[in-house]
Chain A
Amino acid sequence: MAEPLIELRNVTRRFGSVTAIRDMSFAAHAGEVHCLLGDNGAGKSTLIKTLSGVHTPSEGQMYVDGKPVTFASPRQALDAGIATVFQDLSMIPLMSITRNFFLGREPLKGAWITKRIDMKRADAIVYEELGKIGINVRDPQQAVGTLSGGERQCVAIARAVYHGARVLILDEPTSALGVHQASIVLRYVAQARQRGLAVIFITHNIHHAYPIGDVFTMLNRGRSLGTFRKSEITEKEVLDMMAGGREIRELQQELERFSKSGSGAEAVS
């Protein structure tokens, strides 16, 4: 199999005494949607924040194109083509779509004191890029806050793709959305995969993940429960593993206690 675009090997990340992820290995390949599933607190956000340069690993190493890298800031990850759409921290509602779309990468014209944003070109690009994914904005200068949640996610993804992302990390892009809005976003995720991006898709909704995912990694309490290709696992098995992780362990503990007290009873009699 081809070399992964981005890879973590045996990465551990601690926050003080809390170990958010422990000895995680994880790889994402071009043209694949890699779903990251797990309960709240499983370490999903920590994992992607490590990939996107917000956190550095406490132990272990990250690789991009097979080369070891360490990102000191989200900007460095961005420059390496790793773009992250954080759940609600990606768009600034009061700013226009165009200003958001080009934030941090504004197209400029003019020299020295007359150097300014080429707003006309920026507007035209936004209009065209959003048109491609079927979002028709009346005016690219309208505030992002006027868009629906699904549209906002799509704009954030379009922005990442337009600015040359090779790895697209989406943190729960559909969890706040209704069925219709979610399907718009999922369709667009499929489009990004077709373009050859490596997509890392975080969710706890298996109905959103399974239809679109190629590979699934299940997380539980900071540990990987394993990585499976779609052909190796059914939707039900994924569901069992996700939801079951905790409950099954509780069940086991209960059974153990039961058998212990059972053996004690035997000793008395």
Chain B
Amino acid sequence: MTDALNPAHPPEPKPVSRNLTRLMRRPELGALTGTILVFLAFGLTAGNSGLFSMAGIANFLQVSAQLGILAAAVALLMIGGEFDLSLGSMIGFASVTIGLCVTQFGLSIPVTVAITFVVAIVVGALNGFLVVRTRLPSFIVTLAGLFILRGLTLAVTRTITGRTQIPYITEGHEGSFVVWLFGGKFGGPVFAWLATHGWIAARPDGSPMVQGLSMSILWWVIVTAFATWLLIKTRFGNWVFAVGGDDRAARNVGVPVDRVKILLFIGTALSATLFAVIQVLESGSADTLRGTQKEFQAIIAAVIGGCLLTGGYGSAIGAMFGALIFGTVEMGIFYTGIDTDWFQVFLGSMLLIAVLVNNYVRRKATEAR
């Protein structure tokens, strides 16, 4: 309408070219490229090692999935401008909470799982509250949390059970719906059908070698989809970007900065707990050392996925690719028989490259044209 009056106002650009420029500006583009390169590299070198057999795929997807669940929540938190170094300790803490509730207090598994998630909300809220109240860097506050939670986990478990591991948690509950929901497998009938047609490896009795995929993979997809929906589509997501981009500017236009940050910390604690529930119900045992170093791995996956260390930019889909790269390389190195020490070298290099790429992308995204 104003177009006719204002010759300096050109018609809207064609949607096709616009969508292309939008795509080029996406933070996950680097991680997608990285994923393709990793698959190409292993496709060429790991051809017959079994990495790309059904069992191999199920393996690296499961490893990626567990990290990916954490990485999605960590990506949201990092976009919101904060870190959670207590994430790995929270995993251990949640694991023994489950173990103790079931084996010591005789609670049922569904009740235990519910309690553990409530505990996670409390711990996450406490982390967030401390960060927004003290205005200290979350790096420091949650570093304290890392030691406190891990210490508490060890002390309590040793005091009550005299050991640092709690076995036989799921014994007698193998048929339970909740155990299946978090620790089971899905897709069994599909695999059976594929095996009867000889499309995937089968045992002599005709049942498939791979009975199904770990439920963690489904959770990974659900968590990533939810995080992406939140970030891109909702008002909360808009606030997350704003809080991480410039919290004073966000506050000035009325964004409840503290509430957003506290919710994000609750999110990472919940993801750690989901991770713990999955591992405990899959393996049937809890270990006080579960989750060690996961906080760093999740940050690495999120950064590979395009999250800026300074906040305000990133993506949950990117974090998913970051976790996939992580899991594929870890398993790929294992299958191809490369010395696993090289995995650390690879990780460090990936991180460095990702940070450089991200900074470049950020500069491009905000360059005045």
Contacts and interface: CB of A to CB of B under 8 A. Distances in A.
B251 A74 contact: yes
Contact of B2 (A74, A94, A131, A147): A131
Interface stretch (B57-65, B234-242, B323-331): B234-242
A63 interface: no
Contact of A89 (B10, B252, B365, B367): B252
A136 B9 contact: yes
B242 A95 contact: yes
B250 interface: yes
A119 to B, nearest CB: 8
Given A127-B12, A134-B9, A92 B252 contact: no
Interface stretch (A98-106, A206-214, A220-228): A98-106
B3 interface: yes
Contacts of A102: 238
B18 interface: yes
Interface residues of B, number: 39
B6 interface: yes
Interface string A93-122: 111000100111110100000011101000
B8 A136 contact: yes
A236 interface: no
A85 to B, nearest CB: 9
Chain B CB within 10 Å, residue with most, of A84, A95, A117: A95
Given A131-B9, A136-B8, A139-B22, A104 B254 contact: yes
Chain A CB within 10 Å, residue with most, of B3, B235, B250, B255: B235
Interface string A158-183: 00000000000000000000000000
A145 B367 contact: yes
A94 B238 contact: no
Contact of A103 (B10, B229, B238, B367): B238
A134 B5 CA distance: 11
Contacts of B239: 103-104
Interface in B1-53: 1-3, 6, 8-10, 12-13, 18, 21-22, 25
A116 B234 contact: yes
B233 A139 contact: no
A94 B312 contact: yes
Given A75-B254, A89-B252, A131-B6, A143 B366 contact: yes
17 contacts: A78-B253, A89-B248, A90-B253, A94-B313, A94-B362, A95-B241, A102-B238, A104-B254, A115-B235, A117-B234, A119-B233, A131-B6, A131-B9, A138-B13, A145-B365, A145-B368, A146-B368
Interface of A: 54, 73-75, 78, 84, 86, 89-95, 99, 102-106, 108, 115-117, 119, 127-128, 131-132, 134, 136, 138-139, 141-148
